[in-house]
Amino acid sequence: MYDIDKYVQAADVDDAVRALTADPKAVIISGGSDVLIKIREGKLAGCSLVSIHGIRELDGVKMEEDGTVVIGPCTVFSHITNNEIVRKHIPILGDAVDQAGGPQLRNIGTIGGNVCNGVTSADSASSLLTLNAVLKLCGPSGSRLVPLEEFYAGPGRTVREHDEVLTEIRITKDNYEGFGGHYIKYGKRQAMEIATLGCAVQVKLGEEKNTVEDLRLAYGVAAPTPIRCRRTEETVKGMPLTPKLADMLAEGALKEVMPRSSWRASREFRLQLVEELARRALAQAVCNAGGEIHA
């Protein structure tokens, strides 16, 4: 049995915001794969829930006229992976969320819940960071846009106010057009495993497909929150596609991450993964962008 004090099913976003404003202790529930576990473990025992499950405006993926991809936060992982817009324009994200949990989890866990739980191991986070995703949050006094990179406030914490609902995850065309990307999740086993480390690379190549025009590198579990390696990214722009590029990326990343030891892996092992996954994700991302790393 779950110890739940009150349950409100919101009819729409305004209704959800009203219910959250009226009850400062209420918690949003979407797919419930994090929230229900916390209730059962006692961390959220006796809480009030405001359900956004089933609100149509929060579900699905669409493209705006200017090419911006807009992802509804209540879209479950399996629908993201199979969505035509995602497959065509941002396949890195569909591949990343396809590595979360097992099939049941992917049919109930939502991308909004994955972002809003604020955890560093969230499988969507590093790919969304490399896509410069922007979040739309709606609260009692209107809406605001927050870049995902500024959303994380610490382990399991975000800048979202209690009475704000994430209503859109936005990715503009200039952040996906012409890029090739790849996400690697390292876990102790293939399925039903939280990432020991996750690494995403998005790369755009020059016209001749032999230099780096733009590159984004992001990690999960390499720091208390998902992170971008901005300084390293700057150092590799314009470089030719040689092994030196992979060396610069891997060595640069090591200077920007700050993983810790946990029961899953030591800090030293995670540092080794930071380096190795950068090289592997880069090689595949370059290939997906139409190039190849030459000796």
Ligand X SMILES: Cc1cc2nc3c(=O)[nH]c(=O)nc-3n(C[C@H](O)[C@H](O)[C@H](O)COP(=O)(O)OP(=O)(O)OC[C@H]3O[C@@H](n4cnc5c(N)ncnc54)[C@H](O)[C@@H]3O)c2cc1C
Cα separations in angstroms, 93 against 52, 82, 145, 222, 286: 23, 11, 20, 19, 16
123 binds ligand X (CB under 6 A): yes
Cα separations in angstroms, 14 against 23, 35, 52, 220, 277: 14, 21, 11, 33, 43
Residue nearest to ligand X (CB): 113
109 binds ligand X (CB under 6 A): yes
**Residue 109 or 252 having the CB closest to ligand X:** 109
Question: Phi/psi class of residue 132: alpha, beta or left (left: φ > 0; alpha: ψ in -120 to 50)?
Answer: left
**Residue 27 or 70 having the CB closest to ligand X:** 27
Site for ligand X in 67-96 (CB under 6 A): 73
37 binds ligand X (CB under 6 A): yes
**Residue 187 or 252 having the CB closest to ligand X:** 187
Helix ranges (H only) for 11-139 are 13-22, 35-41, 77-82, 84-89, 91-97, 103-108, 111-116, 125-130
**Residue 24 or 66 having the CB closest to ligand X:** 24
148 binds ligand X (CB under 6 A): no
30 binds ligand X (CB under 6 A): yes
Supply φ then ψ for residue 58, to 5 degrees: -100, 5
Residue type, 14: D
Of 114, 120, 130, 196, the one binding ligand X (CB under 6 A) is 114
Of 112, 180, 224, 291, the one binding ligand X (CB under 6 A) is 112
Residues that bind ligand X (CB under 6 A): 27-35, 37, 52, 73, 100-101, 105, 108-110, 112-114, 116-117, 121-123, 160, 165-166, 192, 194
